[in-house]
Amino acid sequence: MLKKTALATLAAASLIPLSQAQAADYVIDTEGQHAFVQFKINHLGYSYILGNFERFEGEFHYDADAPEASSVAMEVQVNSLNTNHAERDRHFLSDDFLSADSYPTATFVSTGFEPNGEGEGVLSGELTLKGQTQDIEMPVTLMGEGEDPWGNYRAGFEGSTTLTLADYGIDMSAFPEAMQELELYVTFEGIRQ
């Protein structure tokens, strides 16, 4: 009997740290369409092309008491690109730009987070697109956290950064200088696990 009690106590004790560690792990809510990976690029200096990637998944770790330990990992299906113009989308996905058949996914894995107070900070990490990996920094803001009406606990963030397309093997030299960069905007809420 003593042996069984000791084993039960040990098992229960081993679950405490695990549950605490998982308390700040979130899965990005893509099923409810509460997350977006969007971009904006200048069009010949006259206007902008706006688009998004419709299929992606990811997770993040966040603890308000230790924001410096935050982390994010995401994977985007490149061929889910949508700019509301089918012919242009096919061109963007071709070897002229994204080479989506050869490089079907883009990934981001964070390497650090530097909080600067008031729910803001700078997320650093490695972005891999078209087979090229570059270190990037993205200022991010905590939009809010708390319980939803269905008993889940959620946290939401937004961030944006500017990418130089040549860094990812995308040759824009035939286009005006304004088209050499792309603004990436990400917003998501996650459900705590």
pLDDT in tens, 26-68: 999 998 889 999 999 999 999 999 999 999 999 999 999 999 9
With the CA atoms of 19, 20, 25 and 26 taken in that order, what torsion angle do they form, in degrees rounded to the nearest 10?
Answer: 70
What pTM value is reported for the model? 0.85
Token code pair at residue 80: 């889910």
For domain 24-192, the CATH class is: mainly beta
Q: How far apart are CA 71 and CA 78, in angstroms?
A: 22
pLDDT in tens, 29-40: 998 889 999 999
